Chains A and B, each alone.
Chain A
């Protein structure tokens, strides 16, 4: 008799638990991600940019016969857009990186492109991987996603074919983590959040890779779940497996953590006043919305104070005051 009551109760409790894990948590995490990111970006945008302070990294636009650097020191809005594009898509500033090393009692500055390469490899492969995931959320799968998958598995290594982006993202993450541990300067400044973000990303990527190349995962079930989530008609499929669950929870943790951590640099980079403004402050007046009058030492006050000295030195006094 007791069993007759207990079994359905347990079953429904298990069902509710699964619903929370597969639907509730992802929705909550995604809501926190969107809401939090908006809150951050709006927060930044609400603070004005009182002064035009681009960091100029090349020749200014001045005399017509002097060649200016339109992307590293733009003087037009279009140039600033170009500068931002280089910054966001190719990490222009990081590309300048060099390393100061003591050699023969002096500093030499050798090229150091590894950080740039590691960062670029990580961010681009992450983007590719995110876009590839669209095949789970959209039916029919968009052509560009299929195409991207084909290019990504171009070398046809193994079955299922190895995605290059998976290899790249793991290598890049490993590099970014190892340099934090290896480079003593970085270890000095690295905080809990730096490692936490990297480990979450690494865990997410590893479980993802494991599902594709290691343990089998029921893709049909996962896709049912994904489409259900995307169309706001959530279903709780059976048999998605423990690895998938861990993957999903890590993604959710990452999404919810995002707005409150350094990961918001994704949104912030677009608002950086040293990069997104044209260097045209002598061509066009920039207005400070909170500009307020200040106490100055006016010419009249100054002339009054130094009148004797000015007369003695025969420096002309202001005619209006001197009659």
Chain B
């Protein structure tokens, strides 16, 4: 039977990109943000509206707001100003974007996405554009253009893949971030970003899980872990004077398969006797402010350092999450530092001083665990992961906004016997996004997510067919939330797991009972395939 799903056509574009008309087709855009969430964050123009409507209820001076907003950001961000000027449209980025590869919509080519805002910049901010208009690549700012921006800046996952290939390092993520900031000035935001941001601001995490429920989830996880291992682990919350504050993305304690990664962290911390604490106040490492504005990013991020200061910890350990680490690595200390109340992180088990995090005082769990393994401080039984044939998906932000490539691989190769890399143009700094990053992982956007995730799924399909890979491991909460759907659609039979779930499976804990299941409660070995009737007949 032929499978038409895989037929992605490469039709050359014919239309004129200057025409801003956009059709808001169901499945390819996200719902607008509810007024109460916009209001809760004190963002402009809260109202009920729908992107598919003709009237977006923009403020009457919307044009002035945008142009002033652009002027302000051109003065604040060299990246923005420079990236508006230096593109030569060489086309190297064109086929690097997963949304373009999956949708074939020419405005998803990174240079065109940038051109949507660049053309307005030329028309209103450069002498050539002011005088020569469209001849110099300028475009009038109209409401149509705002709608076009909304459509395409919420069709970029800020994954930075194009920026790897750009000869000038033009980073579409920067342009999208500024584009979204400008849209936010008019109240054009999406619910899947603004609601979690509002909940994170008030309650502490994206789903608005209140402190008592937070504790319940962790205790429930401890119960499950006890069933698998026979060991009861502690759940320290808000413990003053602990050595380490542990911050994870909230999905780890309310979503699957994230949850099994949490069980992995818990068993590891127990086994090495780490003196640490969770926090109900800073119960979210993720930061949807990154997808809203630089200011919102800072507002949401502030509680991590505040909590570390209040609890008097020495340093902070961070769980598996992609965009969370972009913020922690590249923005946190600049925004909310200096972290002079913390110490340079030192592993209490190996004595390793994490020089690369000496100022920010925050260490990635993969760095921490790789160091433990290198010094043979924990014992692993990789056979317990033998039912899995594992590949590793580099999450965009740790790969291209940090360079965390080898640490998770080191952990995986020690924890699993069967590990296979995807093709080289699809991993490490060239990794493909899951198609749902930067706040676009919502169900009403499913078609675009599946299209955007196609190149990634494609590479998974390759290793599935070549090596029988049946598990994709990753270190990003959005990946874990959205890739099961993606893979079920494109590559059925491949499941998704966090690196520390596999570590937790393999970890030999002191005093544990004999393990019969993995952290998911499934038998350790794959069921022996039943002999099919056909084979019996034909011997």
Q: Select the stretch in B26-34, B185-193, B454-462 that faces chain A.
A: B454-462
Contact digits for A283-323, partner B, Cβ 8 Å, 1 yes 0 no: 11111101100111111001101100110110110110000
Q: For the complex, give the distance between the alpha carbons of A69 and B402 in Å.
A: 12
Contact A189 B88 (CB under 8 A): no
Q: Select the stretch in B46-54, B235-243, B467-475, B494-502 that faces chain A.
A: B235-243
Q: For the complex, give the distance between the alpha carbons of A285 and B327 in Å.
A: 14
Contact A294 B13 (CB under 8 A): no
Q: For the complex, give the distance between the alpha carbons of A174 and B480 in Å.
A: 48
Contact B164 A96 (CB under 8 A): yes
- For chain B residues 1-36, which have a beta carbon within 8 Å of chain A? 3, 6-10, 12-15, 17
Contact B360 A55 (CB under 8 A): no
Range of interface residues on B (Cβ < 8 Å) = 35 or more
Count chain B CB atoms within 10 A of each CB in A53, A69, A98, A271 and give the residue with the most.
A53
Contact A262 B356 (CB under 8 A): no
Contact B367 A52 (CB under 8 A): no
A185 in complex: contacting residue of B106, B216, B280, B429, CB < 8 Å: B106
Closest to A266 in B: B86
Contact B359 A73 (CB under 8 A): no
A241 → B minimal CB distance (Å) = 33
Q: For the complex, give the distance between the alpha carbons of A99 and B425 in Å.
A: 10
Contact A294 B458 (CB under 8 A): no
Does B516 sit at the interface, judged by CB under 8 A? no
B374 in complex: contacting residue of A65, A185, A309, CB < 8 Å: A65
Closest to B364 in A: A62
Contact B13 A60 (CB under 8 A): no
Contacts of A68 in B (CB 8 A): 403
Does B355 sit at the interface, judged by CB under 8 A? yes
Does B115 sit at the interface, judged by CB under 8 A? yes
Does A153 sit at the interface, judged by CB under 8 A? no
Contact B402 A268 (CB under 8 A): no
Count chain A CB atoms within 10 A of each CB in B81, B203, B211, B405 and give the residue with the most.
B211
Does B65 sit at the interface, judged by CB under 8 A? no
Contact B429 A56 (CB under 8 A): yes
Name B's A-contacting residues (CB within 8 A): 3, 6-10, 12-15, 17, 42, 74-82, 85-92, 94-96, 101, 106, 109, 111-112, 115, 126-128, 135-137, 160, 163-171, 174, 201-204, 210-212, 215-216, 237-240, 280-281, 294-295, 298-299, 302-303, 306-307, 310, 329-331, 333-335, 337-339, 352, 354-360, 362, 367, 370-371, 374, 399-407, 410, 423, 425-426, 428-430, 454-455, 458, 461-462
Name A's B-contacting residues (CB within 8 A): 40, 43-53, 55-63, 65-69, 72-73, 75, 87, 91, 93-94, 96-102, 105-107, 109, 115, 119, 179, 183-186, 188-194, 260-262, 264-265, 268-269, 271-275, 279-288, 290-291, 294-299, 302-303, 305-306, 309-310, 312-313, 315-316, 318-319
Seed contacts A185-B91, A269-B168; 8 additional CB < 8 Å A-B pairs: A49-B79, A56-B429, A93-B169, A185-B12, A185-B109, A192-B135, A306-B210, A309-B211
